[in-house]
Amino acid sequence: MSSTELLSAGLSPAESSSALALPVGFRFGAATASYQIEGAAAEGGRTPSIWDTFARIPGKVLNGDTGDVACDHYHRYAEDVALLSSLGLDSYRFSVSWSRVQPGGAGAVNPAGLDFYDRLVDELVGAGIEPALTLYHWDLPQELQDAGGWTNRATAERFAEYSAIVAAKLGDRVRLWSTLNEPWCSAFLGYAAGVHAPGHTEPAEAFAAVHHLLLGHGLATQAVRQAATDPDVGIVLNTFEVRPYLSDGTDDEVARRIDAVANRVFLEPLKNGRYPRDLLIDVADLTDFSFVKDGDLEIISTPIDFLGVNYYQPTVVSSATGEAATNAGHGSVLATPYPGSGDVLFPTLPGEHTSMGWLVDETGLTDLLVKLDELYGWPLMVTENGAAYSTGVGEDGRVRDAERTAYIEKHLAAVAAAVSRGADVRGYFAWSLLDNYEWAYGYTERFGIIHVDYDTQVRTVKDSARRYSEIVAATRAQWV
């Protein structure tokens, strides 16, 4: 028998066509983030975060949308957990709003805020769903921003204190902890490109922010290990699968630069306790890294239990003019931290694109996972993967999101392909459980496997969620 035949033995035809060769115990989940779904922005003692402020600056977010109401998950969490459960998912990745738990980001705990997450965790555990908690998904308390935000070293210390509070309360039931979600976005989109809160356009600030985010991560990792029972602690990066546009070597130097500022700026300090030498040289005109103090890199390289990988599309880069220039798409924010960044192009490749204009190419996920496994050796988890398409609810009440269904099928198969090539991948979380607040795009882009009607808050399970659920069931069936 071939391994495929072996795996399919005893399964119904529908099951065997859906089952993926993934290791026993592989986690299947869906992900969200606090500001994107909770709403109840001024309830239960929550105070503003930088996103509450940024969303109110005219022109920063499409239609002036805010997270004031979002998916009203704060009030509807039990219904949302029931939906997760109905899909047969075993894990739920969510984030905690710092200013709900500790208004102002320092000092006294707000019991009402912490109780919300206590209830959510109980609801999940009661439904047999493993909570996967992210401590920071971009919603910094505004008061900390007023004191400099992530450019201020003290923010890292405040973050560790807040993390200890959350871990002390929930650490008896939450095993999977992520410190930061996508610090690249916090630092570069927030402080250099200005398209995310706090909206600064100071490239030098972005590097100070990177360092203090990493320091906060290291301190929080230690704090969670002290306060929680046997936790697995990791960090979630939007590692970029950087590919040169031209394969003749012309674009290799640009690919190296982007890989340094997008990936290795985080991976190297986390794994090896140093910033990449080539990066230090590339950005020498911007910063001398004098914000790095004795002992910081040891804290930052505190061993982690897993790396969370968020993947949506490959990042194709070019230095060329001509054809590449004609096809240069969005994404130039990646180059913003560099002086003379105008020479980095992000060509749009032919093929299918989502409503965000992102290329559908699952080979990028396989290659990225294999590469990260080989270079760094951490257990990996795909903590976000998904696609924006605007398919609405049909007259028969169904959401026929065939493109998203195909996207998820291809990317799950791409994870299995990475596993077959030796990568230690332990889970997959669809982004997102619900249509939600897509940051600067407001409510215009829908990533959910569950549709949300923002007027009525009615949830409708999309076809993609049903298909995902079927694949999960079939894959698990082969384990028994």
Give catalytic residue positions.
182, 384
Three-state SS for 47?
coil
- Report the site for ligand GCO in 206-245 (rule: CB under 6 A): 238
Name 317's bridge partners: 244
Q: CB neighbours of 20 closer than 8 A, spacing ≥ 6? A: 412, 413, 415, 416, 471, 474, 475
Residue 13 CB: number of other CB atoms within 10 A?
A: 8
**Per CB under 6 A, which region of 5-13, 118-126, 177-185, 297-305 contacts ligand GCO?**
177-185
For ligand GCO, the binding residue among 26, 162, 407, 447 (CB under 6 A) is: 447
Cβ nearer to ligand GCO, comparing 185 with 227: 185
Cβ nearer to ligand GCO, comparing 292 with 450: 450
C-alpha–C-alpha distance, residues 140 and 96, integer Å: 11
Least spacing, CB of residue 126 vs ligand GCO, in Å = 27
Cβ nearer to ligand GCO, comparing 53 with 310: 310
Whose CA is closest to 279, among 298, 295, 258?
A: 258
Map tokens 């921003």 to a residue: 145
Bond preceding residue 198 cis, omega within 30 of 0: yes
Q: Quick one: 395 exposed, middle or buried, by C-beta within 10 A (0-12, 13-18, 19+)?
A: exposed
Question: Taking CB under 6 A as the rule, does residue 65 contact ligand GCO?
Answer: no
Least spacing, CB of residue 438 vs ligand GCO, in Å = 5
- Report the site for ligand GCO in 238-257 (rule: CB under 6 A): 238
Least spacing, CB of residue 204 vs ligand GCO, in Å = 23
Cβ nearer to ligand GCO, comparing 148 with 194: 194
Residue 348 CB: number of other CB atoms within 10 A?
A: 17
C-alpha–C-alpha distance, residues 236 and 31, integer Å: 12
Question: Taking CB under 6 A as the rule, does residue 358 contact ligand GCO?
Answer: no
Least spacing, CB of residue 358 vs ligand GCO, in Å = 9
Cβ nearer to ligand GCO, comparing 80 with 251: 80
Structure tokens at 319: 């230095």
Angle at 83 between CA 79 and CA 89, to 5 degrees: 140
For ligand GCO, the binding residue among 7, 20, 22, 33 (CB under 6 A) is: 33
Question: Taking CB under 6 A as the rule, does residue 469 contact ligand GCO?
Answer: no
For ligand GCO, the binding residue among 65, 130, 268, 384 (CB under 6 A) is: 384
What is the binding site for ligand GCO (CB under 6 A)? Answer: 33, 36, 181-182, 185, 238, 310, 384, 431, 438, 447
